[in-house]
């Protein structure tokens, strides 16, 4: 397993060791002990989520706030997505910066996103199955978000606006300047 910290402190790209032969492949998708040792934290994931989406589906940018903030370990089981993580920790030197990475069922890379980040993705393939682990339970009253096309964040989603499929709820999210993480 190769673990590399991204330009955003505490956010790690993880590439598993994949064993391939004529039968197919095998890899360890998660090992609590190895994961915690490699990122230098003690993270206890307590909830797994999965979504199926069609091309152009844009989900995000979402976060949980207060006592319900979540760290996530995300990966794509099938298909390809563009994954976005935005640092919304107001005291962070990278506050307001983001990373974008292509995650796919082929590259099997995973992204660890610590608490204090907004997260979203758009589906680049015809369909995608997206999976993520969370270290805290979802709480509707403590959910928040930032509009996907925020003029200050300037996220390049790699698709034309007309290709997006976005929920009404996500279309009503506030701008980066208006969001509240506390």
Q: Which helix (DSSP H) or strand (DSSP E) does residue 33 occupy?
A: helix 32-39
Catalytic residue among 62, 63, 119, 148: 62
Catalytic residue among 63, 98, 119, 132: 132
CA distance 26 to 5: 25
Contact 4, 12 (CB under 8 A): yes
DSSP state of 106: T
62 is catalytic: yes
The β-bridge partners of 3 are 14
Please report, for residues 3, 33, 143, the alpha-carbon distance to residue 36 in angstroms, rounded to integers and kept in the order given: 11, 5, 26
132 is catalytic: yes
- Catalytic residue ranges: 62, 132
């Amino acid at each position: 397993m190769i673990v590399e910290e991204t330009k955003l402190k505490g956010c790690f790209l993880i590439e598993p060791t994949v064993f391939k032969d004529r039968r197919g492949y095998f890899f360890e998708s998660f090992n609590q002990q190895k994961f915690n040792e490699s990122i230098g934290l003690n993270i206890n994931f307590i909830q797994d989520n999965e979504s199926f989406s069609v091309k152009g589906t844009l989900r995000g940018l979402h976060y949980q706030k207060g006592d319900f903030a979540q760290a996530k370990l995300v990966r794509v089981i099938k298909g390809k997505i563009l994954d976005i993580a935005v640092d919304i920790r107001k005291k962070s030197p990278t506050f307001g910066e983001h990373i974008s990475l292509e995650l796919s069922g082929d590259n099997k890379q995973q992204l660890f996103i610590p608490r204090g980040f907004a997260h979203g993705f758009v589906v680049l393939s015809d369909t995608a199955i997206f999976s993520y682990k969370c270290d805290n339970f979802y709480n509707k009253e403590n959910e928040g978000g930032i509009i996907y096309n925020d003029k200050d964040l300037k996220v390049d989603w790699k698709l034309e606006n007309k290709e997006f499929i976005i929920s009404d709820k996500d279309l009503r999210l506030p701008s980066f300047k208006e969001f509240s993480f506390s």
